[in-house]
Amino acid sequence: MTTLLRIDSSARTQGSVTRDLTARIAKAHDGAQVIHRDLAETPVPQITENWVTANFTPADDRTDAQVEILALSDDLLAELEAADTIVIGLPVYNFAPPAALKAWVDNVARVGRSFRYTAEGPEGLLTGKRAILAMASGGTAEGSEIDFASTYMRHILGFIGITDVTVVAADQMALDADASLEKASKQIESLQAAA
């Protein structure tokens, strides 16, 4: 059985386009075990100086307090490690990912866990996985020079080893919501056909 990690990051719990898209994409993966992480219901805190200190303390030398500080980060990483497919709701807030999603990224981009440094440069450790970004925006076109959301997420996923990334985009909703949603629906149908 495959495992799908569904991450919702929209501040809106009702009427969210990205939440609708992530639900539909998860449903298209019929038979997969779904882990759902809702960053609005259970926010991931911003990293702190104590978090950074704990993270850079060798695991065997961490105090009980440091282990506790990293416990949520460890849980988030365990979810990523268990998943074959990661579906991320990506609403575009001011041309970029929401702060809730950035906090999640900061907690999972950990040297020695999701990436490592080598003589040739950084190497992602979470290989062999697929990611699907369910993007929604008011006016930002996916992949455009002002899209710092999907381009950032593609980069960070690649950095931790996830290079198979597909974007389902209901972008530029303020210009033509019906056409944007129809385009996203067709992209989801293509995902189903490929599965």
Known binding-site residue numbers: 10
Question: If you search the block for the tokens 């809106």, which residue do you land on?
Answer: 12
Known binding-site residue numbers for FMN: 10
Q: Which amino acid is at 112?
A: G
* CA atoms of 7 and 4, how far apart (whole Å): 10
Q: Which amino acid is at 148?
A: F
Nearest to 80, CA basis, from 156, 142, 170: 156
* CA atoms of 162 and 22, how far apart (whole Å): 18
For 185, the token pair is 């629906």
- How far is CA 51 from each of CA 21, 62, 63, 68, rounded to the nearest angstrom? 33, 11, 12, 10
Q: CA neighbours within 13 Å on the CB side: how many for 122?
A: 17
Residue 195: per-residue pLDDT: 61
Phi-psi region of 143 (alpha: psi -120 to 50; beta: other; left: phi over 0): left
The DSSP code for 59 is: G
Residues of the chain where predicted confidence (pLDDT) is lower than 50: none
Q: Is beta strand 121-124 parallel, antiparallel or unpaired with respect to 130-136?
A: unpaired
User: Considering the entire predicted model, what is its pTM?
Assistant: 0.96
Domain 3-194 has CATH 3.40.50.360: yes
pLDDT digits (tens, 9 = 90+) for 109-134: 999 999 999 999 999 999 999 999 99
- How far is CA 42 from each of CA 53, 134, 187, rounded to the nearest angstrom? 24, 20, 29
Residue 146: per-residue pLDDT: 96
The DSSP code for 148 is: T
Residue 98, class by beta-carbon neighbours within 10 Å (0-12 exposed, 13-18 middle, 19+ buried)? buried
For 91, the token pair is 């609403």
State the CB neighbour count (10 A cutoff) for residue 160. Answer: 23
Domain boundaries, the chain: 3-194
